[in-house]
């Protein structure tokens, strides 16, 4: 029998939370790195949640996942991030009814200073970091700025949930399966200023615009539904999205490590290199392709009409404002 490959070490913060509960079994089942690659879960929590985390550990053990070679549960970031190949930074407060995601910035932002440093000092040389805790773009900026050793290209924040929401809205409108829709783009911030762009999206072999034949729907209901979907879930569930967020985190990480399909892209918030005139250094959502080894590239050459350019500016301006509100946390 062929020897098993070296296990991948995956750090998950906020592992005893709502998203963690949906995320951990899927990672342990091998959905990120594939069915041949063993995994070690390195779970970080705050001290009051260690008891609950121990219960999650018991449940993971009771799943007897063939690929799961270890579970670390700790409140010490230096232990959680030790030799990690992938860090999923989920641990942060979710918003409640009536709040915007940006309202969390002063409460959650400081978490990412210490975690950025601990990643810098402990993670594997090839570490990739995905920030999910909100406001995720700016939290990613904070963590990245505390971690000088880890290249900026190894940091991403999650807008895959918005991307999936946009696909679902178009599929529902046109009356096709979700799998028939591709190449939507989420631009900017994971907030209600984000710009979900449909003009390059495809429904099978058609443009989404041709398939839906209703530009007014795209400009109004489509954009606002995607922008406000997180709020709608909070209002309905009384809690922020968790299953769909964990699913999006799985999609994001899987695409990063196993690649985007030929001819398709996804949306990820990454450190801007100035593409599309988005200020260099901001963590903005872009259309990206992934080569399957943890690397992404921004898709170039997409055009904007005046409507789109205006919306892009609004969301990029919000990213600048969020950055300016946390200058004391940036190093």
Q: How many residues bind ligand LMR (CB under 6 A)?
A: 11
What is the torsional sign of CA 55, 56, 62, 64? negative
* Smallest separation, CB 176 to ligand LMR (Å): 24
Minimal CA–CA distance to 287: which of 270, 301, 266? 266
Does residue 240 belong to the site contacting ligand LMR (CB under 6 A)?
yes
Burial of 196 (0-12, 13-18, 19+ CB in 10 A): buried
Write down the H helix ranges in the chain: 18-28, 50-63, 77-80, 105-122, 136-145, 160-174, 208-212, 215-217, 223-227, 229-237, 243-258, 306-325
Place of tokens 């989404």: 208
What does 90 interact with, of ligand NAD, ligand LMR, none (CB < 5 to 8 A by kind)? ligand NAD
Residues 6 or more apart whose Cβ sits within 8 Å of residue 93 = 104, 107, 108, 133
* Smallest separation, CB 138 to ligand LMR (Å): 13
What binding mask, one character per residue, do residues 83-122 give for ligand LMR by CB under 6 A, x or -? -----------xx-----x---------------------
* Smallest separation, CB 190 to ligand LMR (Å): 6
Which is nearer to ligand NAD, 130 or 211 (by Cβ)?
Answer: 130
Q: Of 74, 134, 169, 272, which one interacts with ligand LMR (CB under 6 A)?
A: 134
Question: Per the structure block, which two tokens stand in for 72?
Answer: 């670390």
Q: Of 42, 122, 241, 266, which one interacts with ligand LMR (CB under 6 A)?
A: 241
Does residue 19 belong to the site contacting ligand LMR (CB under 6 A)?
no
According to DSSP, the residues that pair with 88 across neighbouring strands are 12, 130
In angstroms, how far apart are the furthest CA atoms of the chain? 60
Does residue 161 belong to the site contacting ligand LMR (CB under 6 A)?
yes
Tell me whether residue 252 is one of the annotated catalytic residues: no
Place of tokens 């070679």: 69
Does residue 247 belong to the site contacting ligand LMR (CB under 6 A)?
no
Q: Of 88, 92, 203, 233, which one interacts with ligand LMR (CB under 6 A)?
A: 233
Positions marked catalytic: 190
Residues that bind ligand LMR in the complex, under the rule CB under 6 A: 94-95, 101, 134, 161, 230-231, 233, 240-241, 245
């Amino acid at each position: 029998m062929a020897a098993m490959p070296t296990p991948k070490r995956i750090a998950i913060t906020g592992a005893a939370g709502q998203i963690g509960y949906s995320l951990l079994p899927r990672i342990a089942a091998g959905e990120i790195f594939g069915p041949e690659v063993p995994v070690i879960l390195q779970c970080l929590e705050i001290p009051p949640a260690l008891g609950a985390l121990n219960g999650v550990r018991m449940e993971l053990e009771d799943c007897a996942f063939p690929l799961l070679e270890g579970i670390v549960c700790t409140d010490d970031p230096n232990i959680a991030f030790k030799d990690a190949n992938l860090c999923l930074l989920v641990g942060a407060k979710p918003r409640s009814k009536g709040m915007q995601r940006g309202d969390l910035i002063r409460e959650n932002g400081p978490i990412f200073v210490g975690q950025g440093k601990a990643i810098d000092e402990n993670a594997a040389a090839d570490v990739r970091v995905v920030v999910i805790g909100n406001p995720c773009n700016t939290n990613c900026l904070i963590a990245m700025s505390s971690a000088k050793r880890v290249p900026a290209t190894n940091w991403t924040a999650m807008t895959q949930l918005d991307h999936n929401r946009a696909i679902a809205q178009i599929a529902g409108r046109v009356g096709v399966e979700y799998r028939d829709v591709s190449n939507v783009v989420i631009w900017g911030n994971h907030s209600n200023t984000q710009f979900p762009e449909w003009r390059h999206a495809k429904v099978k072999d058609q443009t989404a615009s041709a398939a839906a034949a209703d530009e007014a729907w795209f400009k109004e209901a489509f954009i606002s539904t995607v922008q406000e979907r997180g709020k709608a879930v909070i209002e309905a569930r009384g809690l922020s999205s968790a299953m769909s967020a964990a699913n999006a985190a799985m999609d994001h990480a899987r695409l990063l490590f196993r690649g985007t399909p030929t001819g398709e892209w996804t949306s990820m918030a990454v450190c801007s290199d100035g593409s599309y005139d988005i200020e260099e250094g901001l963590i903005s959502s872009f259309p990206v392709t992934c080569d399957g080894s943890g690397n992404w590239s921004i898709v170039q050459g997409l055009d904007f009409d005046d409507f789109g350019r205006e919306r892009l500016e609004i969301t990029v301006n919000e990213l600048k404002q969020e950055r300016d509100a946390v200058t004391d946390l940036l190093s």
